[in-house]
Amino acid sequence: MCLYARYSEEEDMIKNITIQGFKSVYDVRLDLGRVNVFIGPNGSGKSNILEAVGVLSAAAKGRVDDESLRYRGVRPGLPALYKSSFVSDKTPPHIMLEARSDDEVDFRVALLNPLEEPKPAWSFKTEYLSVGDTELVSDGVRNKKNLNLESGLTALRMVDFSPGSPEYRTMTDLQGYAIYCPNTPTLRGLVPDPQSREPLGLAGGRLAEAFEELKTMVSNVGDDVLEMIDWASNVSVTRYVSNILSPSVPRTDKTIRFTDRFMRDSRNTLSASDASEGALYILFYGVLALSSKSPGFFAIDNFDQTLNPRMASHLTSKFCTWILSKASSQVLLTAHNPAVLDGLDLSNQNIRLFVVDRNNKGHTSVRRLEASPELIKLNEQYPLSRLWMMGHLGGVPDV
């Protein structure tokens, strides 16, 4: 097993997020931990929650437009599709987003973009940043200091913040947020990543380079990963691919090289193009969780894709350990595989499970599932995965 630094309770994180008027999320407040898992039916609004935080991230950076949203993994769409529009409710005049941190930093914005004649960039209706009772940025309708309504004031003011200050750390975490959703062709290096960044692209690009970098930072990380890839005796990175990659396969500068322990020595080397896709996802999650270049605050949509149920449970547990080993890491995950729940220790307040549904108005509703005495008693008879499938936890489709 790989040994990592212990998590420190003293480090700050995003304590809660409030979302109002964004897609199906009419009015939701999330009280977050370090690892936050969202389960629920397809179309219940799980991805909308991740994307609302992506819009808040772009606002923290000072500009909300198609480019800044795509860079964070937010699906492109018309302005009319971003704003809530329910038959039973009045359409809100703006989208309101807010983040509060453990050390009392509060950042909130109200964003506008005309539905009939949308502009390239959204405008800031109001914007506030405070630390405790100290107001650092106040830009409202009656107090308009910002002549360019499409530029956020907080991003401009960051040059005045001390790098060690709570406001600087919180805004930096928000600005770095991104939604990762890896896919197999990109992990194999067969197609370019549409949003490349360090250490990994949002779809899994740069996997070989990122894994090589991580091995120089964490000496025995390869052993920790190999424990979950039982058919491989070694995982490495190489530039020399002519002997392991077909000439017809697109080539990247570097590629992952697996050594199959069951095959003959002369024919036991596989490239990322030939290896099990599950192994590539395991490497991806390990790098993203452990690399010092990863964002301090990020999301993964469809965390459990391609994984065998038992592996999904084990990887979830391992991923939680990796995230909690870094005091600066905080993650939002969506999942559909019930086995993911069996990898969560809900007695740990840093690990939180949220059930997402649509109410009778169509609004996305979110309920935290805690380790109550009733749930603990049920869990003695059945694993959480079974309880979810049986309908005891909620978050299942009505079929």
Query: What pLDDT digit, counting tens, does each position of 186-208 carry?
Result: 999 888 999 999 999 999 999 99
pLDDT at position 241 is 55
Q: Encoding tokens for residue 235?
A: 């995982």
Q: Looking up tokens 């949003």, which residue turns up?
A: 195
Non-local CB neighbours of 358 within 8 Å, separated by 6+ positions = 24, 41, 43, 44, 45, 364, 365
CA 331 to CA 178: how far, in whole Å? 10
CA 181 to CA 187: how far, in whole Å? 11
CA 9 to CA 31: how far, in whole Å? 16
pLDDT band of residue 3 (cuts 50, 70, 90) is very low
pLDDT band of residue 1 (cuts 50, 70, 90) is very low
Range of 31-45, 81-95, 144-158, 385-399 with top mean pLDDT? 31-45
Non-local CB neighbours of 387 within 8 Å, separated by 6+ positions = 375, 378, 379, 393
DSSP structure string for 366-378: EEEE---HHHHHH
pLDDT band of residue 332 (cuts 50, 70, 90) is very high
Which DSSP symbol is given to 344?
-
- pLDDT at 10 exceeding the cut of 50: no
pLDDT digits (tens, 9 = 90+) for 121-176: 999 999 999 999 999 999 886 565 657 889 999 999 999 999 999 999 999 999 99
C-beta separation of 271 from 206 below 8 A: no
- In a 3-state reduction of DSSP, which class is residue 176? helix
pLDDT digits (tens, 9 = 90+) for 227-273: 899 999 999 898 755 555 555 555 567 889 999 999 998 888 888 88
Mean pLDDT (the chain) is 90
| pLDDT > 90 fraction of the chain, expressed in percent and rounded | 73
Task: Identify the CATH class of 14-178+295-390.
Answer: alpha beta
pLDDT at position 215 is 85
Q: What are the domain boundaries of the chain? A: 14-178+295-390, 195-293
CA 66 to CA 232: how far, in whole Å? 42
Least confident of 139-143, 157-161, 278-282, 327-331: 139-143
- H helices of 197-240, where? 207-217, 221-226
pLDDT digits (tens, 9 = 90+) for 365-379: 999 999 999 999 999
pLDDT at position 148 is 84
Q: Cis ω on the peptide bond leading into residue 166 (within 30° of 0)?
A: no
